[in-house]
Amino acid sequence: MKNILFIASEGVPFIKTGGLADVVGSLPKCVDKKFFDIRVMLPKYTCISQDMKDKMKYKTHFYMDFHWNNEYVGILESEVDGVHYYFIDNEMMFGGFRPYSGNVYDDIVKFAFFSKAALSAIPMLDFEPDLIHCHDWQTGLVPVYLKERFQDNPLFAKMKSVMTIHNLKFQGRWDVKDVRDITGLSGYFFTPDKLESYRDANLLKGGLVYADAITTVSDTYAEEIKTPFYGEGLDGLLKARSGDLRGIVNGIDYDEYDPSKDQYIVAPYSAKNFRKEKIKNKKALQKELGLEEDDKTMMIGIVSRLTDQKGFDLIAYVMDELCQDAVQIVVLGTGDEQYENMFKHFDWKYGNKVSANISYSEALSHKIYASCDAFLMPSMFEPCGLSQLMALRYGTVPIVRETGGLKDTVEPYNEFESSGTGFSFKNYNAHEMLATIRYAEKIYYDKRREWNKMIDRGMAADFSWHVSASKYQDMYDWLIGDKA
């Protein structure tokens, strides 16, 4: 049995702000349990819902030197769907209404604490990881501490580490002096070949330098991040480590996202009967959101964090033009004020055509995946993207920009060969996007049989974890080697 410990800042079903939580919550369930025991370690944020907190049991606690203080570290545990979870508890560190405060300094303190506490807790777990799998900048210090600070204890001597990049844009960058102070790491670590980057300290970079292997969440993104445009200043390092860098595309949880048994939708359906049943969900959603109740109108959905990553500048630019067409647009998301206001404005201007839902809602997200005809995701960059996979699974045709995981998972429609699962465009250009949406409208309205065949192909595509989990297993096997 090989033991893997995921250390991450969010994970379904405990806490979620985006796709990282979906991956952390679903991948461990899907590995081969005969050979791998994957457990997950998360912060015990005070904002975790009470019913999930009620599932946690106190295990033990200790005190740890951190940032000139002696800090309390509680360990709690829980088991959900056959996966064992550990939680690091310290109410001062993990307070607040959200996992990330948005204040970089505060977040660096929080996750430096988490990274050190996570490793310090391992000897008390009755679980000896052969490999630590870290996710994003929040856990970038783990490989650093592991290699440089924990080697005196034989338990850690052979432990391997993997760093997975879910989003290179966020790196945990701050002034070197402060970060030295917070982490207790000496000046030796803050040079350009280690944690320093453009004169700042950079936590993700630490992880990328010290981890035994690096992965990211699609093949295309693995290539893109070696170029200046997508590399966010780390393309040089990623090129240098390209031998240790691989792309493994994400899957989604096929039990949680299953139109045939989704509790949130009024009319469950399958690949066999979507032609008759799916439309009932559309009618119900039109009613619920106060849109014109016309089931013939093409409905386009968006479920997303509202940030510039997701291409909302393109949408803002052509929204007036798009709203002249026979379409309805349903948006669910929260994030940057500028995009929240933009969608609210168009909701006000085109009330019965546009519905802007500026909130976070699991239920409404499922209804949108199930009810819409098309799903729009014109991202500027997209490491993988899970929303388009959810859309495919629900027979909702994705319209995407060809970048990162969107390129790898949505096959463009080819009307001559009758192939493809969605629509895509290449350049980050608003009118190229609009032309692609209009092409989709044309197929939807004029060639419904072709449209439905595209749904058949999309629903038949397999984006469960099945294939990708085995790629992670191969990598774990390769890094850990044979166990005595």
Residue numbers of the site for ligand ADP (CB under 6 A)? 18-20, 22, 303-305, 332-334, 360-362, 365, 384-387
- Structure tokens that stand for 431 in this block: 């009118």
User: Which helix (H) or strand (E) is 473 found in, with range?
Assistant: helix 466-480
Least distance to ligand ADP, CB of residue 353, Å: 20
Name which of ligand ADP, ligand GLC, none residue 459 binds, using a CB cut-off of 5 to 8 Å depending on partner kind. Answer: none
Name which of ligand ADP, ligand GLC, none residue 332 binds, using a CB cut-off of 5 to 8 Å depending on partner kind. Answer: ligand ADP
- Structure tokens that stand for 304 in this block: 């997303």
Least distance to ligand GLC, CB of residue 17, Å: 9
Name which of ligand GLC, ligand ADP, none residue 217 binds, using a CB cut-off of 5 to 8 Å depending on partner kind. Answer: ligand GLC
Nearest to ligand GLC of 74, 172 (CB atom): 172
Q: Which residue has the tokens 């445009």?
A: 229
| CB < 8 Å & 24+ apart, contacts of 68-72 | 68/181, 71/113, 71/117
Least distance to ligand GLC, CB of residue 18, Å: 4
Least distance to ligand GLC, CB of residue 387, Å: 8
Least distance to ligand ADP, CB of residue 372, Å: 13
Name which of ligand GLC, ligand ADP, none residue 387 binds, using a CB cut-off of 5 to 8 Å depending on partner kind. Answer: ligand ADP
Helix ranges (H only) for 290-425 are: 312-322, 337-349, 362-371, 387-393, 404-409
Nearest to ligand ADP of 140, 333 (CB atom): 333
Nearest to ligand ADP of 207, 301 (CB atom): 301
Nearest to ligand ADP of 118, 168 (CB atom): 168
Q: How far is C-alpha 422 from the geometric centre of its chain's CA atoms?
A: 21
Task: Give the footprint of ligand GLC on this chain (CB under 6 A).
Answer: 18-20, 23, 166-167, 217, 250, 382-386, 405
Alpha carbons within 13 A on the beta-carbon side of 156: 20
Nearest to ligand ADP of 109, 391 (CB atom): 391
Helix ranges (H only) for 273-380 are: 274-289, 312-322, 337-349, 362-371
Q: For residues 251 and 32, give the distance between their C-alpha atoms in angstroms, rounded to a whole number.
A: 15
Name which of ligand ADP, ligand GLC, none residue 304 binds, using a CB cut-off of 5 to 8 Å depending on partner kind. Answer: ligand ADP
Least distance to ligand GLC, CB of residue 168, Å: 9
Name which of ligand GLC, ligand ADP, none residue 360 binds, using a CB cut-off of 5 to 8 Å depending on partner kind. Answer: ligand ADP
Nearest to ligand ADP of 124, 358 (CB atom): 358
Name which of ligand GLC, ligand ADP, none residue 224 binds, using a CB cut-off of 5 to 8 Å depending on partner kind. Answer: none
Least distance to ligand GLC, CB of residue 386, Å: 5
- Which position's Cβ is nearest ligand GLC? 19
Nearest to ligand ADP of 186, 359 (CB atom): 359
| CB < 8 Å & 24+ apart, contacts of 22-25 | 22/250, 22/252, 22/253, 22/386, 23/135, 23/166, 23/217, 23/250, 23/386, 24/135, 25/253
Q: Which residue has the tokens 């359906």?
A: 269
Sign of CA dihedral 311, 314, 320, 323: negative
The candidate with the shortest Cα–Cα distance to 368, out of 405, 332, 422, 397, is: 332
Classify strands 57-66 and 69-80 as parallel, antiparallel or unpaired: antiparallel
- Which position's Cβ is nearest ligand ADP? 19
User: Which helix (H) or strand (E) is 119 found in, with range?
Assistant: helix 104-121
